[in-house]
Structure 1
Amino acid sequence: MENTDGSIAIFGENHDILPYSIHLEPQLKLMHCKVPLPVRIVVLPDEKPQLLTVFIPDGPSYSYSYSYRFDLGSYSGQTPDSSVVYALPFITSNDSIVPKRADKLYIYNFLLPKYTPILAARGGIVAAVKFGQKNTRTINSNLIYVYHDDGTHACYENLDPEKSNAIVKVGQRVKVGETIGYFGENKKNPYFWFSVEYPAATNSETIPVTFLMGNRLVRPN
């Protein structure tokens, strides 16, 4: 929005129930901003637009553009406490079912029987229930996000859309061990995926997870 003094006000809106962090990267010509750029801004839930920043002209032939991305949670500049212990997101008596890191990120996969009940590994608020989404690992990335009190969120991925669709809804608070869905094994993606993420300086990053398996603590390498 252009103000009467010629400055450009940039607003953001968050109609969700949880905070989001926006990474705003402007390209300014003959303009400046009072905060260092690019900038990470927390947008709290609110029905009204929230002022993010203002671009101020330095001359008559100014121009601007910007790109942005948003991530679930409030950016604090701090790395979350990785000593938090998570329950296994399913019940098993098979000690051979152990988490394995899928790649350089802290994303863990489990080889489970189809329709295994998926449980909340930590209590929190259901932030998203998505079915039929695409990502780099699967064609149909059916997933649920659960937001935790420390600003992190867990991603439960590759769920069965028919059996999982009506179990939980966005905004619902779930307890650790509560059923939130069912594993949806298929030929193209035989694994259940689990990760914990938080809003870092420019995007959402995964953190290492310690699982409680029986009376043992396991942190996969």
Structure 2
Amino acid sequence: MEDPTVPEPVKKMSAMLNQSRSDLEKVAGLFGVAQVVKKEKCNAKAKELLFQSIGIQFLKKLLLANSNFEGDDCPPHVYKSVALSILESFCVEPELARNKDLLTIVPAILDIAQLGDDEDCDDDNLIIVSGAYELLRCISVYDEGKSALLENGAIAKLIETYANQSFKSDEALQILVILAHHFGTKTWDKADPKYFHSLMNKVTLDFETEQCDENTSCVAPCKLCCLHVIEKQ
């Protein structure tokens, strides 16, 4: 039985996606999804319906695309941008942000986020890096998302971004603080402490080169240090 709370345009879009016979048709449908989600008052049920109609495997395919689909002239970064935008709109709903299938995209999102570490990253890719960090922030709100980030090596990648002061390093640090506050010393790899040492070296350098007070960027790294020390006692 159809849910009466799901807007009619969403039902039509879902049916169209389910009937898609090719990747190209489904990509065209995704542009429609982005518009419907913005235009209609989509509740969690509506977004769940769209999520199931699109399919997590297809969203992964878009996020991992290195070339355009046959018969389409859109560059890969457009696919990634649309997929990230749709996923972000889904992840504002707690039910979807905690969804086990949806969280399987975390490795792909982390790979996109790391594109910002490349000094030659162009503007198009910087846009999708920004989108990736917005999605990581949404995912990190919930315990299931935090666990998915930890299990997929987010700590090392976020530390690398922060320590190198790469694009979105402040956002990387904010997510690091969230994870460290939640997991305590479990955040750090005791068998391979090089990333923790890298973080501490960056914090030390910040103290040496900045006049730190409660309003500066030194505060968040200090929280990471304190969380580590307190848990060790």
Higher strand share: 1
TM class, shorter-length: under 0.3
For CA contacts below 8 A with separation 6 or more, give which structure has more relative contact order.
1
Q: State the TM-score, normalizing by the size of structure 1.
A: 0.23
Higher helix share: 2
